[in-house]
Amino acid sequence: MRGSILSICALVSATYASHVLLPRTPSTPLYGNASATNLFSCAAASWPQSDVGVPLTPQPVDSELAGLLSEIDPARIEAYIAKLVSFGTRHTLSAQNSTTRGIGAARDWIAQEMRSFAATSEGRMTVSVPGYIQGLEARVPFPVLISNVVARIEGSTDPSRVYVISGHYDSRASDPNDYTSDAPGANDDASGVAVVLEIARILATRQPKATILLGAVAGEEQGLYGSNFWAQTLRNASVNVEGVLNNDIVGSSTGDRGQRDPYTIRVFAQGLPPTESAARRAQRLTIGGENDSPARQLARFSVEVAANNATGMNIAIIYRLDRYLRGGDHRSFLEAGYSAVRYTEPNEDYAHQHQDVRVENGTQYGDLIEFVDFEYVARVAKVNLATLWSIANAPGQVRNATVNATLLSNDSQFSWLRSNDTDIEGYEVVWRPTAAPLWTHVVDVGLVSTVTLPLSKDNVIFGIRSRGRNGYRSPAVLPFPG
Ligand SMILES: *[C@@H]1O[C@H](CO)[C@@H](O)[C@H](O)[C@H]1NC(C)=O
Ligand SMILES: *[C@@H]1O[C@H](CO)[C@@H](O)[C@H](O)[C@H]1NC(C)=O
Ligand SMILES: *[C@@H]1O[C@H](CO)[C@@H](O)[C@H](O)[C@H]1NC(C)=O
Ligand SMILES: *[C@@H]1O[C@H](CO)[C@@H](O)[C@H](O)[C@H]1NC(C)=O
Ligand SMILES: *[C@@H]1O[C@H](CO)[C@@H](O)[C@H](O)[C@H]1NC(C)=O
Ligand SMILES: *[C@@H]1O[C@H](CO)[C@@H](O)[C@H](O)[C@H]1NC(C)=O
Ligand SMILES: *[C@@H]1O[C@H](CO)[C@@H](O)[C@H](O)[C@H]1NC(C)=O
Ligand SMILES: *[C@@H]1O[C@H](CO)[C@@H](O)[C@H](O)[C@H]1NC(C)=O
Ligand SMILES: *[C@@H]1O[C@H](CO)[C@@H](O)[C@H](O)[C@H]1NC(C)=O
Ligand SMILES: [Zn+2]
């Protein structure tokens, strides 16, 4: 099927319009708009024309996933956030011996909620509170117990393949070491914890193929301590974590100029993986693979499965680790060698982050619950749930994908390890023009472990993925010269 310039252009521009952050009002439709602006993007991105494969369309939302998404409840999200705010401060250095104030009370309440969900799981969900004593550091003036609350849903067919979703339950005031003042942390990051809790509640009664870990971590504001402990624990145990979704500041759709974008969530995805060997990095740069790290593939995957009418959201991929002067828990997982991304609201208001609660010069400062949009958080939870459910029910990512680069050739030959997963229906090669952000074409190549396509690897980026009998696809992987 040879697409005309116009049809490929329309596809690419629709993709741009729905997934790249454009100035928009809430009434702008979620799907494409082939305006002159978008066609301009298309002119740069749609070369080469090729009849290899068919245009790639967003993955459909099946009725089971649609049902799960409809269970997400903004009223419950509001209740979780209100409860977390009620602990006054959740600073990592605050009291751990009170049932009403401080991080200990917050930890125990989160664990109790998780256990109440686990009680509905017929034994598939278990809850633990792993912790360690963090010694002195710049933002740790005395040794402190840092605890994470982690719920684990055992995978039904691939229990050793693991996905992680996280938010941090600690909070802070203006002074990072002030552990007595109120620090409501409604957006940063009770919103992320609320996403994790609501998804834990819904998934407790379900049976994904792969294992899912849902965690609320501490110590983020003092130096990513809880997530680092978690990521290093998984790494040390050689756990096969194939994706991490971190949610941090996902609570407000209104920026500090009053701008509103309630139908967009940013996903931050780093380029070069920080733990890659020097040889691998050199090879990646040689083949133009710097935009195809596992984290970027995870972000693309999220767009394919979760930017749709079922979530009501657009997903704006941001090609960087994080915002300027800010960090987050996905970094701990990246530094442990895992693929991790961060979801964050599109327009931040710094008067409502890391600020003592006060009115100054007529402006209300502080991370107060009145600035949280619960319907927005619910849509962000839908993006997370659609991504998590789709990835955990897809086959695992394709292993040892290689491209044959031994001789000059205008064909492209790929090989990979055929998985022994009997749920795999077949493999797919996806490709896109090198300047396009998302995969534009797919070739169904069947149940094979090698294929040669009449399209030059010099002109496009290729990825290999597997398709389950249930229709779910794994995130694509970049083939390296074998
Ligand atoms: C398409 O985009 C253009 C330019 O951004 C805008 O003026 C127009 O209203 C949009 N059309 C629709 C149907 O959204
Ligand atoms: C609770 O812990 C704080 C330190 O976080 C300590 O100052 C206080 O004395 C403790 N209270 C009780 C009743 O143990
Ligand atoms: C991971 O292993 C390293 C090296 O053995 C060790 O120093 C570190 O404490 C371990 N971390 C965790 C969280 O288990
Ligand atoms: C999404 O919803 C809009 C508005 O209701 C509709 O026009 C569009 O066709 C829908 N798209 C899909 C893929 O269902
Ligand atoms: C409030 O106004 C005073 C006087 O103009 C100024 O010094 C101070 O920085 C202002 N505070 C903030 C948070 O902008
Ligand atoms: C697959 O790749 C891994 C590491 O990248 C390597 O250790 C292993 O030997 C490879 N397996 C085969 C069959 O090539
Ligand atoms: C790579 O391609 C060349 C021809 O272009 C072929 O001779 C060689 O056998 C291929 N290597 C593999 C491992 O298939
Ligand atoms: C390039 O492709 C053409 C057409 O398929 C073929 O005839 C030619 O031999 C190829 N050149 C090389 C170097 O493989
Ligand atoms: C499939 O392969 C994995 C290792 O890649 C192995 O652990 C597992 O036992 C195999 N399963 C079957 C059914 O052969
Ligand atoms: Zn945060």
d(CA 248, CA 42): 33
As beta bridge partners, residue 255 has none
Per-residue confidence of the chain (482 residues) as pLDDT tens digits? Answer: 333 333 334 443 344 334 433 333 433 433 333 343 444 444 555 788 888 999 998 888 999 999 999 999 999 999 999 999 999 999 999 999 999 999 999 999 999 999 999 999 999 999 999 999 999 999 999 999 999 999 999 999 999 999 999 999 999 999 999 999 999 999 999 999 999 999 999 999 999 999 999 999 999 999 999 999 999 999 999 999 999 999 999 999 999 999 999 999 999 999 999 999 999 999 999 999 999 999 999 999 999 999 999 999 999 999 999 999 999 999 999 999 999 999 999 999 999 999 999 999 999 999 999 999 999 999 999 999 999 999 999 999 999 999 999 999 999 999 999 999 999 999 999 999 999 999 999 999 999 999 999 999 999 999 999 999 999 999 999 999 99
Distance 405 CA to ligand 6 centre (A): 18
Q: Is 35 in the pocket of ligand 1 (CB under 6 A)?
A: yes
Ligand 6: nearest atom to the Cα of 417: 13
Please report the pLDDT score of residue 47 as a whole number.
82
pLDDT of residue 19: 41
Indicate which atom in ligand 6 lies nearest the CA of residue 399: 1
Please state, in angstroms and rounded to a whole number, the distance separating the CA atoms of residues 338 and 233: 12
Contacts of 146 (CB under 8 A, 6+ apart): 92, 131, 132, 133, 134, 218, 219, 225, 226, 229
pLDDT at 271: 97
Query: Among 232, 233, 238, 335, which residue has the most ligand 3 atoms within 8 Å of its CB, making it the best to mutate?
Result: 232
The domains spanning 2-60+395-481 and 64-393 adopt the same CATH topology: no
**229 touches ligand 3 (CB under 6 Å):** yes
**Residues with C-beta less than 6 Å from any ligand 2 atom:** 95, 97
Residue 44: the pLDDT is 54
> 408: CA distance to ligand 8 center in Å?
10
CATH number of 64-393: 3.40.50.1370, 3.40.190.10, 3.40.630.10, 1.25.50.20? 3.40.630.10
**What CATH class does 2-60+395-481 carry?**
mainly beta
Ligand 3 contact via 131 beta carbon (within 6 Å): no
**How far is the centre of ligand 8, averaged over its atoms, from the C-alpha of 398 (Å)?**
29
To the nearest 10 degrees (0 to 180), the angle between helices 192-203 and 103-118 is: 20
Distance (Å) from CA 461 to ligand 8 centroid: 20
Whether ligand 6 lies within 6 angstroms of the CB of 400 is answered as: yes
Tell me whether strands 314-318 and 340-344 are parallel, antiparallel or unpaired: unpaired
Nearest CA to ligand 4 atom 5: 309
Nearest CA to ligand 3 atom 1: 236
Report how far ligand 1's centroid is from the alpha carbon of 35 (Å): 6
Q: Which ligand lies nearest to the CA atom of residue 455 in the structure?
A: 8
Ligand 7 centroid distance, CA of 414 (Å): 10
| Reported pTM | 0.90
**In the prediction, which pLDDT does 34 show?**
38
Nearest CA to ligand 4 atom 1: 309
Ligand having the closest approach to the CA of 94: 2
Taking the CA of 456 as reference, the closest ligand is 8
Ligand nearest to the CA of 451: 7
- Asked if residues 162 and 213 have their Cβ atoms less than 8 Å apart, the reply is yes
| CA neighbours closer than 13 Å in the CB half-sphere of residue 414 | 31
- Ligand 4: residues with CB < 6 A are 30-31, 309
- From the CA of 416, how far away is ligand 6's center (Å)? 10
| Atom nearest to 454 CA in ligand 8 | 5
Distance (Å) from CA 77 to ligand 2 centroid: 31
Residue nearest to atom 7 of ligand 5 (CA): 361
Distance CA 342, CA 243 (A): 11
Core vs surface per residue 256-287: b (16+ CB within 10 A) or e: eeeebbbbbbbbbbbebbeeeeeeebeebeeb
With H, G, I as helix, E, B as strand and everything else as coil, classify residue 233: helix
Q: How far is the CA of 277 from the centre of ligand 6 (A)?
A: 15
Residue 408 Cα: closest atom of ligand 8: 13
Longest dimension (CA), the chain: 70
Q: Is 105 helix (H, G, I), strand (E, B) or coil?
A: helix
Q: Is 408 in the pocket of ligand 7 (CB under 6 A)?
A: no
Domain positions in the chain are 2-60+395-481, 64-393
Ligand with smallest separation from the Cα of 361: 5
Q: Is 407 in the pocket of ligand 8 (CB under 6 A)?
A: no
Q: What is the DSSP letter of 371?
A: G
* Ligand 9 centroid, distance to 158 Cα (angstroms): 10
Q: Would the CB of 33 count as within 6 Å of ligand 1?
A: yes
CA distance 301 to 293: 12
